[in-house]
Amino acid sequence: MAKPSSPKATILEYGLKPKKSFGQNFMMDDNVNAIFAKAVSSFGLDLTVVEIGAGTGSLTKHLLTVARHVHAVERDRDLVPILRTQFADELAVSKLFLHEADGARFDLATVLNVNYPGILVGNLPYHLTSSIVILALRNRSLLKGAVFLVQKEVADRLLASPNNKQYGFLTVILKLAFTISRVALVDKSAFWPVPKVNSTIVKMATIENGLSEVSDLDQFFIFVREIFQKRRKKLSTILQGKLTKDDFIALAIDPNLRPENLEPHQFLALYRLVCSFLAKG
């Protein structure tokens, strides 16, 4: 098993430095990587893991101990040679596969399939968090779940419940596809360079119902997003001309409620009824 030195030592050894344009903050606390890998192993020990943003391999090392195969995706061409050197043995026996690619656009279907779903993982740069979370959402049929390290404020939004200001569009969409839980809080001092905020490891376990009922995912995204753009208004006002008072009664939804008061499954019920209305029109 390859044993990479600390990311900082490795980066400096190769005469490199973190790239702000890539949002690079490398994990320096190996205990955090171990906690991360343990969360991945909770899905099973004979799985394929896709790691977005492998960096210098500090997490990759741990993932290789809990997964059958690891596909490490790294877009920084300066780091790819480091990974090839650090993990030459694992690459030689096809335990590890290395992909020089943009993780936010990586085609998961090339390495996973619905018969053998895998796990998507990563220490996500802030500016790519939404894109990669949506990647997991769109590819949920290929995944048993995902484990991400994200900024704490993002995790708080993903975990938020109704009647909370942090509850929004992305929360609703994701909770229809995954059961989301907090694994661990991570202090900003665990990173190099040290970011301005703390982080959280979150686990997302794929659920079967919910979004499986939506035939046009993009249209549902638009529907929920537009409702939340008017979050201070009542549902009866937002959906005026599309749903009647009787429609709300049939759904057991109070038309005087505001978007942040609804459970995710209630958004789905509203969407189906609005689609039915539009189809008739």
Confirm if 3 and 61 have CB atoms less than 8 A apart: yes
Within 10 Å of residue 110's Cβ, how many Cβ atoms?
Answer: 11
Structure confidence at residue 211 (pLDDT): 85
DSSP per residue, 191-244:
EES--SS-EEEEEEEE-SSGGGG-S-HHHHHHHHHHHHTTTTS-HHHHTTTT--
Residue 167's CATH number: 3.40.50.150
Structure confidence at residue 279 (pLDDT): 59
Final residue of a structural domain among 209, 238, 270: 209
Residue 106's domain comprises 7-209
Co-location of 219 and 205 in the same domain: no
Co-location of 61 and 173 in the same domain: yes
Of 262, 210, 214, which Cα lies nearest the Cα of 235?
A: 262
Residue 268's CATH number: 1.10.8.100
Final residue of a structural domain among 159, 183, 209: 209
Structure confidence at residue 1 (pLDDT): 47
What span, in angstroms and rounded, lies between the C-alpha atoms of 48 and 35? 18
Task: Give per-residue pLDDT as tens, 267-277.
Answer: 999 999 998 76
Q: How many domains does the chain have?
A: 2
Structure confidence at residue 238 (pLDDT): 96
Co-location of 123 and 102 in the same domain: yes
Structure confidence at residue 2 (pLDDT): 46
- pTM of the entire predicted model: 0.93
User: Judging by beta carbons within 10 Å of its beta carbon (0-12, 13-18, 19+), is residue 152 exposed, middle or buried?
Assistant: middle
**What is the amino acid identity at position 211?**
L
Co-location of 97 and 113 in the same domain: yes
Structure confidence at residue 21 (pLDDT): 87
Co-location of 202 and 228 in the same domain: no
What span, in angstroms and rounded, lies between the C-alpha atoms of 48 and 76? 23
Structure confidence at residue 220 (pLDDT): 94
Confirm if 84 and 104 have CB atoms less than 8 A apart: no
Final residue of a structural domain among 160, 177, 209: 209
Q: Is residue 46 part of a domain?
A: yes
Co-location of 75 and 95 in the same domain: yes
Co-location of 41 and 127 in the same domain: yes
Which parts of the chain have pLDDT scores under 70?
1-4, 277-281
